[in-house]
């Protein structure tokens, strides 16, 4: 089955700096890669996703890049703000949809003032 | 945007009792709902997939008789933890997806179950 690795497990950045979280996946058939943000005591919220026919996608301060050859994808957050502090999960699916997602292990992002 | 409501947010029960958790899609029809379990500071583990009107599909290692799932309508799925034990204490999260192509997954806010 699919295996998704995520790094780093914790990340601390100063407000205004950029944060990058990286994930690798094992199954070359995976074709849908969402990113979720989970705040304390809440369920994950989708923040951005990318499909295998696209190399990069951007939404304001958030961007995701995908390298199919290397089987890795990354989340980039620019101009970080304290409210970006949360746990971020990457995920991968072979169905092209949000069904049967395999999640990474999570990255705890702390944005300090 | 699409909203998934999960109830209750917290529940404490005694060992041996059963607990029911509800998951509702509020503004869309969820053809498929998923139930996850999350241990502290860990990732989400898929427990089962439920499609409206059919039996749930459980992941390997998840006891179907212990975690009863009912997806009776396109907007409601329930997870019942039967004969709960302290090791069942965890954060349970449901999610839902509509039948439309490329529809994203929406999560509920989770249920913190504590079995004493």
Look at residue A54 and tell me whether its pLDDT is greater than 90. no
- Rounded CA separation B67/B24 (Å): 18
- Rounded CA separation B37/A77 (Å): 27
Nearest to A49 among B104, B110, B112 (CB): B104
CB–CB contact A34 B49 (8 Å): no
CB–CB contact B105 A101 (8 Å): yes
Q: Give the 3-state secondary structure of chain A.
A: CCCEEEECCEEEEECCCCEEEEEEECCCCCCEEEEEEECCCCCCEEEEEEECCCCEEEECCEEEEEECCCCEEEEEECCCCHHHCEEEEEEEECCCCCCCCEECCCEEEEEEC
- Minimal Cα–Cα distance from B96 to chain A, Å? 9
B65-113 pLDDT, tens per residue?
Answer: 999 999 888 899 999 999 999 999 999 999 998 876 667 788 999 999 9
* Closest chain B residue to the Cα of A42, Cα to Cα: B109
Q: Which residues contact A10 (CB under 8 A, 6 or more apart)?
A: A107, A108, A109, A110
Instruction: Tell me the pLDDT band of A68, cut-offs 50, 70 and 90.
Output: very high
Backbone angles phi, psi at A106, to 5 degrees: 95, 150
CB–CB contact A100 B104 (8 Å): no
- Rounded CA separation B33/B35 (Å): 7
The average confidence (pLDDT) of chain A is: 94
Residue pair A88/A8 in contact (Cβ under 8 Å)? The answer is: no
CB–CB contact B105 A104 (8 Å): no
Do the strands B30-38 and B44-51 form a parallel or antiparallel pair, or are they unpaired? antiparallel
Backbone angles phi, psi at A60, to 5 degrees: 55, -115
Higher pLDDT among residues A29 and B53, named by residue: A29
Q: What is the DSSP string of B47-114?
A: EEEEETTS--EEPTT--TTTEEEEEEETTEEEEEE-S--GGG-EEEEEEEEESSTTPPPEE---EEEE
pLDDT at B16: 97
Hunting for tokens 């996946």 — which residue is that?
Answer: A25
What's the sign of the alpha-carbon dihedral A34, A92, A3, B31? positive
């Amino acid at each position: 089955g699919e295996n998704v690795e995520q790094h780093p497990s914790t990340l601390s950045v100063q407000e205004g700096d950029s944060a990058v979280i990286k994930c690798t996946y094992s199954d070359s058939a995976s074709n849908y890669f969402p990113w979720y943000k989970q705040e304390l005591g809440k369920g994950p919220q989708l923040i951005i996703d990318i499909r295998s026919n696209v190399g990069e996608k951007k939404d304001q301060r958030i961007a995701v890049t995908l390298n199919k050859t290397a089987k890795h994808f990354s989340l980039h957050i620019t101009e970080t703000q304290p409210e970006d502090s949360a746990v971020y999960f990457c995920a991968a699916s072979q169905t092209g949809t949000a069904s049967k997602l395999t999640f990474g292990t999570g990255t705890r992002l702390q944005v300090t003032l | 945007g699409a909203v998934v409501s999960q109830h209750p947010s917290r529940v404490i029960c005694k060992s041996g009792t059963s607990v029911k958790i509800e998951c509702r899609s509020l503004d869309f029809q969820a053809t498929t709902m998923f139930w996850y379990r999350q241990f502290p500071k860990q990732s989400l583990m898929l427990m089962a997939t439920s499609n409206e009107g059919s039996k749930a599909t459980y992941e390997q290692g998840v006891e179907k008789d212990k975690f009863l799932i009912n997806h009776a309508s396109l907007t409601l799925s329930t997870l019942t933890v039967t004969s709960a034990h302290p090791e069942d204490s965890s954060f349970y999260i449901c999610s839902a997806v509509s039948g439309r192509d490329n529809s994203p997954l929406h999560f509920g806010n989770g249920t913190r179950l504590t079995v004493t």
